[in-house]
């Protein structure tokens, strides 16, 4: 800070925003617990079969549907495969598909939201109405029809979920951009001759980035659930993957007597969604501070 | 009104003894009020002045025991109406709040519940406080409204808050506050959000009600003139300490603390002009309350400071009826003037401005918005010329079209067809996007709110640097120019790498100014550049603007609601009302008359610390811009309305000599018959 004569002095309160946010983040139990859960599953996904006690794909017809024991902590499934190993291995596909789909949706949605929010006009009217129309449809049905049309694979699941999320994220970003556009710094940019692209992506984007990041984590939770649902009905990740959704689909008729064949997979899906949501809440409090 | 008679009637309305208040932020504790003592006697009006962050509002909240959750009274006592506030039980506190204290906040729009009719909200006060029901409560509400001079209480009672203007809302809030006839009425910046003419009316009303109800008043404000006018005694607050206190006339007439002295010197006084010399300013910046301990809170900014001030904190010294927290109260009046490195820039007198070759020529400028299918004339047929190096002041209330005019000039909104703007003889395209680089460079703006004017994600270096691209500078020359610019607005190297949130309001505004001057502009629009700033910072910014003008011979269009500031800076002044030009002319002529009745009302509403005779007050409300009055747009509020002609015919802009023109049916000679105020005693 300076006084009227330009003498400089160290301000008491001026700490950098990044450091302040980091401190808040480190103090947030919600964020830490969420990150711990995510880290756990990420490690599982990355190392997969390298860290499982048994081969997740090896069947053993002599030990089918064995209850949890010292040899098989989570028991075995209909083919005698070790459930514990399969739960660990099952993190891999969903942790590739869901984040990629979310990232695609966030990038496309942010770009679209920036354009319609800043340029307004007819483009905005058209896009906004289309988004509203899309929101009236159940997203799983839309995705299902699209996957039925293009054929299902990990890549098409990423694309379809990404496109389905795009309008939702665009809407959030658009409303944030509307507020930013009214601020004087945007007028100042126009007065020095900056074009619309420069104003959108250099001036406004950094200021709506925190919103995009929070929105992305919210969507990630949905995406995990979305992918699991698609896998469950056979349009998501395909066998022989150890995916949790597939496991639940294959074994749900056994729930009465062989609960271990689906409980751990279901719990794994739930814990991942909870972990993501905890991170979302934590990030929100960090950015709001 | 009947109150609990057990309370001694002679007790002081508010007595604060050695109050310490802490705020807990994270794990740290910040002391926001330190050893604060003040007493408001029965029937007295006490003014508390101070700049932002000094703890004014904390005192108000402490006085009703309503501190934020992280606030804590860590020492001292607060006695309201003779009762110790901190010792009260919850029901007793509730009773005290309903019966003995009322509070009026700055923003009346937020004090009223938007979804309830005024009648419902006011009746509730009587239901809770006096146990009245239905018709009786409603009746009392209507009575209260007429006491705050609302002419049609029944209609207002049926209205929702959003149907009332800001001034009316604040009257309703004041009426509600006075309903229980409280011993103490706390007014926290009650007129800050209001227009000058409305503010004057509300202040008149408060003064009248104070005489009538005989309550004690705690009047909190950042405005010295307002407090000087309204209060018997004043306290000056700085960084959480009451640094001076005494009768209003003595404190402002003969201050005994260097901060008070500095503060009074900063304000451009009535009639002062830039040709009289630079404004004084207080060096340094405002500390946050509680950041300074162990020595005098003002020592870093004080011209009288000695070694002793740096070693120990002064305690309050009683000077007989007044108190100051300074070791050397007798030296305060001789506080050394700020040493200015630049000589006082004396501009050529305004008459010498060559009107033959204006730099900016505005012809028939209009802007009509369509609101719900109806035309709204934000700016209507404005003709203006701006000479090179000239400053044109633009005054008017909110909704007068000042900012709309600025936007049109800058090309941020498109004028109606038929409008013409010429820069240096060449027509200017209406949209900024269609203007050439040279034209863009030539016309720049300093925004009102430095918070929103600077992109919060960019460093100062980047903020200024991006504007330099307009000049076509890159690499080393750009870096050099950037440093030169930063130095010219008195920013240091260190600031270049900081983000806006790390800068104080004054520093942010300097960055905004640097950006406007980056391309070597010929006209800079200053849209209320100091209204978001504290008084002690304002003068430094005004000085900077004057210096830059002298150096670069740039023209200013200076928009402000503060007439003293406009008069200080401007060579000519234009008065706008409902988007129309009502008066234009050399500063002196507009300020000292003869003037348009509206200008006269604006001037009357303008309080000065030294105070001057109040002349006329406007009644009625600013007409809705969607249904502009016929004939002279001002006739609905004009105190000098002639009659039918004003309602039917729009008066022409009549020449009053020497480039002074007034849009009124009354001839200039006759307008001047009203006693004009004496010129300010400044030399």
Which pLDDT does position B1 carry in this prediction?
42
Q: Do B454 and A192 touch (CB under 8 A)?
A: no
Q: What residues make up the domain containing B19?
A: 13-100+182-344
Asked if B466 has any chain A CB less than 8 Å from its own CB, the reply is yes
Which pLDDT does position B619 carry in this prediction?
72
For residue B406, the domain's CATH number is: 3.40.50.300
Once rounded to an integer, what is the mean pLDDT over residues B122-131?
Answer: 86
Once rounded to an integer, what is the mean pLDDT over residues B97-125?
Answer: 88
The answer to whether residue B56 is domain-embedded is: yes
Which residues of chain A have a CB within 8 Å of the CB of B514? Answer: none
Question: Among residues B133, B159, B181, which one ends one of the domains?
Answer: B181
- Cβ atoms < 10 Å from Cβ of B427: 11
Q: Do B492 and A8 touch (CB under 8 A)?
A: yes
Q: Measured at the alpha carbon of residue B184, what is the angle toward residues B182 and B187, in degrees to the nearest 5?
A: 110
Which residues of chain B have a CB within 8 Å of the CB of A200? Answer: none
pLDDT band at B590 (very low <50, low <70, confident <90, very high): confident
The answer to whether residue B439 is domain-embedded is: yes
Q: What is the pLDDT of residues B59-73, one digit of tens each?
A: 999 998 888 888 889
Question: Taking CA atoms, what residue in A is nearest to B446?
Answer: A188
Pair B275, B312 in one domain: yes
Pair B250, B266 in one domain: yes
Domain count across chain B: 4
Shortest alpha-carbon distance between residue B540 and chain A (Å): 6
- Cβ atoms < 10 Å from Cβ of B171: 25
> Torsions phi, psi of A29, nearest 5?
-60, -40
Q: What is the pLDDT of residues A97-122, one digit of tens each?
A: 999 999 999 999 999 999 999 999 89
CA distance B94 to B27: 31
Ordered by start, the domain boundaries in chain A are 18-57+68-90+270-289, 93-241
Question: Among residues B285, B320, B344, which one ends one of the domains?
Answer: B344
State the ipTM, two decimals.
0.80
Q: What is the pLDDT of residues A125-161, one digit of tens each?
A: 999 998 888 888 888 888 899 999 998 899 999 999 9
Question: Which stretches of A182-259 are DSSP H helices?
Answer: 184-191, 196-198, 205-232, 244-251
Which residues of chain A have a CB within 8 Å of the CB of B412? Answer: 187, 190-191
A93-241 belongs to which homologous superfamily?
MetI-like (1.10.3720.10)
Pair B188, B268 in one domain: yes
Which pLDDT does position B555 carry in this prediction?
94
CA distance B233 to B322: 9
Cis ω before B594 (30° cut-off from 0)? yes
The answer to whether residue B167 is domain-embedded is: yes
- What does the mean pLDDT of chain B come to? 85
The answer to whether residue B198 is domain-embedded is: yes
B-interface mutation test, from A1, A23, A118, most B Cβ less than 10 A away: A1
Question: Among residues B153, B181, B209, which one ends one of the domains?
Answer: B181
Question: Which stretches of B100-180 are DSSP H helices?
Answer: 108-111, 118-130, 134-147, 153-158, 166-178
Pair B536, B504 in one domain: yes
Shortest alpha-carbon distance between residue B251 and chain A (Å): 25
The percent of residues in chain B predicted with pLDDT above 90, rounded, is 31
Which pLDDT does position B243 carry in this prediction?
92
| Among the listed residues B526, B623, B530, the one whose alpha carbon sits nearest the alpha carbon of residue B580 | B623
Residue A125 region by backbone torsions, left for phi larger than 0, else alpha for psi between -120 and 50, else beta = alpha
Pair B304, B367 in one domain: no
CA distance B403 to A23: 42
Which pLDDT does position A9 carry in this prediction?
38
Which pLDDT does position B562 carry in this prediction?
83
A-interface mutation test, from B449, B455, B469, B498, most A Cβ less than 10 A away: B455
pTM: 0.83
- Low-confidence winner among A10-24, B288-302, B485-499 (lowest mean pLDDT): A10-24
């Amino acid at each position: 800070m300076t006084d009227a004569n330009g003498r400089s002095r160290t301000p008491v309160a001026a700490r950098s925003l990044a450091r302040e946010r980091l401190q808040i983040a480190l103090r947030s139990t919600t964020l830490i617990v969420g990150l711990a859960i995510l880290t756990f599953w990420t490690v599982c996904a990355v190392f997969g079969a390298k860290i499982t006690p048994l081969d997740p794909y090896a069947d053993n017809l002599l030990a089918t549907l064995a209850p949890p024991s010292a040899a098989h902590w989570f028991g075995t499934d209909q083919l005698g495969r070790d459930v514990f190993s399969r739960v660990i291995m099952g993190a891999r596909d969903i942790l590739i598909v869901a984040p990629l789909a979310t990232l695609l949706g966030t990038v496309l949605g942010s770009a679209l939201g920036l354009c319609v929010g800043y340029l307004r006009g007819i483009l905005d009217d058209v896009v906004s109405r289309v988004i509203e129309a899309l929101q009236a449809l159940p997203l799983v049905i839309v995705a299902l029809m699209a996957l039925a049309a293009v054929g299902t694979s990990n890549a098409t699941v990423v694309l379809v979920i990404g496109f389905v999320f795009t309008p939702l994220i665009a809407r959030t970003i658009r409303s944030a951009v509307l507020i930013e556009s009214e601020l004087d710094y945007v007028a100042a940019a126009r007065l020095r001759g900056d074009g619309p692209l420069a104003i959108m992506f250099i001036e406004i984007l950094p200021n709506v980035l925190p919103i995009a990041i929070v929105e992305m984590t919210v969507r990630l939770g949905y995406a995990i659930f979305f992918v699991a649902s698609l896998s469950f009905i056979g349009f998501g990740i395909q066998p022989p993957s150890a995916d949790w959704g597939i496991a639940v689909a294959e074994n749900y008729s056994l729930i009465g007597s062989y609960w271990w064949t689906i409980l751990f997979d279901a719990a794994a899906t739930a814990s991942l969604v909870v972990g993501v949501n905890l991170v979302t809440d934590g990030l929100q409090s960090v950015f709001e501070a | 009104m009947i109150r609990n008679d057990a309370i001694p009637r002679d007790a002081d309305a508010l007595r604060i003894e050695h109050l310490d208040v802490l705020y807990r932020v994270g794990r740290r504790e910040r002391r926001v009020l330190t050893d604060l003592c003040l007493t408001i006697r029965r029937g007295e009006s006490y003014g508390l002045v101070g700049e932002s962050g000094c703890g004014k509002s904390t005192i108000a909240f402490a006085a009703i025991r309503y501190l934020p959750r992280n606030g804590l009274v860590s020492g001292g006592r607060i006695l309201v109406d003779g009762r110790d506030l901190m010792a009260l039980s919850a029901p007793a506190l509730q009773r005290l709040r309903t019966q003995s204290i009322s509070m009026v906040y700055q923003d009346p729009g937020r004090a009223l519940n938007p979804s309830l009719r005024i009648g419902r909200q006011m009746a509730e006060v009587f239901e809770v406080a006096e146990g009245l029901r239905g018709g009786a409560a409603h009746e009392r509400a209507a009575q209260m409204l007429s006491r705050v001079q609302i002419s049609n209480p029944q209609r207002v009672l049926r209205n929702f808050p959003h149907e009332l203007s800001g001034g009316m809302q604040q009257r309703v809030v004041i009426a509600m506050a006075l309903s229980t006839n409280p011993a103490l009425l706390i007014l926290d910046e009650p007129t800050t959000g209001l227009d000058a003419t409305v503010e004057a009316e509300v202040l008149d009303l408060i003064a009248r009600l104070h005489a009538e109800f005989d309550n004690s008043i705690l009047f909190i404000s950042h405005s010295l003139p307002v407090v000087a006018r309204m209060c018997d005694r004043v306290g000056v607050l700085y960084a959480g300490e009451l640094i001076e206190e005494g009768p209003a006339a003595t404190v402002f007439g003969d201050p005994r603390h260097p901060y008070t002295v500095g503060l009074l010197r900063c304000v451009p006084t009535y009639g002062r002009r830039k040709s009289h010399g630079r404004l004084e300013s207080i060096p340094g910046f405002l500390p946050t309350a509680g950041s300074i301990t162990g020595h005098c809170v003002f020592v870093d900014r004080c011209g009288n400071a000695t070694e002793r001030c740096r070693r120990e904190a002064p305690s309050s010294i009683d000077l007989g009826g007044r108190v100051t927290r300074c070791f050397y109260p007798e030296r305060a009046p001789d506080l050394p003037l700020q040493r200015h490195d630049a000589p006082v820039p004396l501009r050529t007198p305004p008459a010498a401005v060559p009107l033959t070759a204006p730099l900016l020529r505005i012809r028939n400028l209009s802007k009509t918005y369509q609101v719900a299918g109806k035309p709204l004339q934000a700016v209507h047929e404005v003709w203006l010329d701006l000479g090179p190096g000239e400053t044109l002041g633009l005054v008017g209330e909110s909704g007068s079209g000042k900012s709309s005019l600025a936007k049109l000039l800058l090309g941020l909104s498109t004028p109606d067809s038929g409008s013409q703007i010429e820069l240096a003889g060449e027509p200017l395209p209406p949209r900024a996007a269609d203007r050439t680089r040279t034209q863009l460079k030539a016309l720049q703006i300093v925004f009102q709110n430095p918070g929103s004017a600077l992109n919060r994600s960019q460093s100062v270096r980047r903020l200024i640097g991006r504007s330099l691209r307009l000049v076509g500078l890159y690499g080393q020359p750009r870096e050099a120019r950037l440093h030169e610019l930063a130095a010219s607005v008195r920013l240091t190297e260190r600031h270049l790498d900081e983000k806006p949130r790390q800068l104080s309001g004054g520093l942010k505004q300097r960055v905004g100014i640097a950006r406007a001057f980056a391309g070597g502009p010929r006209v800079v629009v200053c849209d209320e550049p100091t209204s978001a700033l504290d008084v002690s910072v304002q003068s430094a910014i005004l000085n900077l603007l004057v210096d830059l003008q002298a150096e670069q011979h740039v023209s200013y269009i200076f928009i402000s609601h503060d007439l003293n500031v406009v008069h200080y800076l401007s060579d000519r002044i234009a008065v706008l009302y409902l988007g129309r030009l009502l008066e234009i002319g050399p500063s002196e002529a507009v300020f000292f008359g003869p003037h348009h009745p509206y200008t006269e009302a604006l001037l009357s509403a303008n309080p000065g610390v030294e105070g001057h005779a109040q002349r006329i007050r406007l009644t009625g409300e600013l007409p809705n811009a969607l249904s502009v009055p016929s004939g002279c747009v001002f006739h609905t509020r004009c105190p000098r309305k002639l009659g039918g002609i004003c309602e039917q015919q729009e008066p022409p802009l009549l020449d009053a000599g020497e480039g002074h023109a007034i849009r009124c049916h009354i001839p200039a000679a006759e307008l001047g018959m009203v006693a004009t105020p004496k010129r300010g005693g400044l030399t």
